[in-house]
Amino acid sequence: MEYVVPLLAAAWWLGFLARDGWPVTRFCYYIPPVPVALLGLIWLCIYRRRVSMIARAFMVATTAAAAIKMAAIDTVWHTPADPPAGAIRLVHWNAAWGVFGRDAVWATLAADRPDIIVFSEPPLADFEQRARRVIPNAQCHVGASMALASRWPIEVRGALIVPDVRSWHIRIALPDGPLDLLGIDIPSGPLLDRRRPLAGIARWVLDHGTEVPLLVVGDFNTPRDSIHFAPLRMLLSQAYESAGRGWPYSWPVPAPMWAIDQVWFSCDIHMWTHEFRIAPCSDHLREVMQLTIQRPPVGLPPASSRSQ
């Protein structure tokens, strides 16, 4: 341990500074700050009197940097908002196919009182019947390792054709106008280069335009501070960063250390609240949020178009 922890710390610094911009740094980028901070603290308690001042200083700096990343960079604490009446309650959850308990999954969702549920790895058995117990008369769609249940009518409009991305595009007919939702599932695996799939998603969002409000929701299997999210960040906002509070990581339960489950939204959507909630019936935390659509007055184009 005397040498293993400093080597881990050096690898973490490489990933922290270079992120996943290069294949050689990708593995280092996936080292989470939580164990680095904890192991660094334990190492300092055990070895601080046995090693050189340089080694101690390096481990103090590493432990502090990892703790700061976790507590001050990754974590946000927005002031709790009071959404207006009629705000849309959306839940996104990788439910691990319901293998930890389908009944518990649906009971948990019923307590969240959602208007829209987006599943990654949904519990497929009796999906529509169970969804309609949570959302009366729910409109449902299942496909591409994901599923959706909506209080309002839906129209399936196709999929995003990009390597290493499973997806579908659904238009939801809200009472005051349409809302587009792009469901995303990117495969896991540290060897996968996220550059192409995330660039493809950004291109689709750009081509989608600004006429209809847009949510991009799913299990990206990519930490949200990945360098490859840069094109998408130019077009959309990230839900946890915009309205979240508390623990910032979503996987794996019971000790989440990677922020891979995400919701991104267009500028004509106001995100009021966002939080990750834990339940023992999945290895992912679920995202629970409230949002409203900011539609322009009749006869005017969207705000993003008027500002150009």
Q: How confident is the model at residue 191 (pLDDT cuts 50, 70, 90)?
A: confident
**135 assigned to some structural domain:** yes
- What whole-number distance in Å separates Cα of residue 261 and Cα of residue 243? 15
Q: Report how many domains make up the chain.
A: 2
The count of other CB atoms within 10 Å of the CB of residue 195 is 14
**What local confidence, expressed as pLDDT, does residue 186 receive?**
96
Are both 183 and 241 inside the same structural domain? yes
Domain closes at, from 39, 74, 109? 74
Q: How confident is the model at residue 51 (pLDDT cuts 50, 70, 90)?
A: confident
**215 assigned to some structural domain:** yes
Interval 79-123: pLDDT, tens = 988 999 999 999 999 999 999 999 999 999 999 999 999 999 999
pLDDT at 171 over 90: yes
**308 assigned to some structural domain:** no
Are both 103 and 185 inside the same structural domain? yes
Are both 50 and 105 inside the same structural domain? no
Range of 104's domain?
A: 84-303
Interval 245-286: pLDDT, tens = 999 999 999 999 999 999 999 999 999 999 999 999 999 999
Mean of pLDDT values over 34-53: 92
pLDDT at 230 over 50: yes
Q: Kindly report the CATH number assigned to the domain that includes residue 229.
A: 3.60.10.10
**What local confidence, expressed as pLDDT, does residue 33 receive?**
97
- What whole-number distance in Å separates Cα of residue 201 and Cα of residue 192? 16
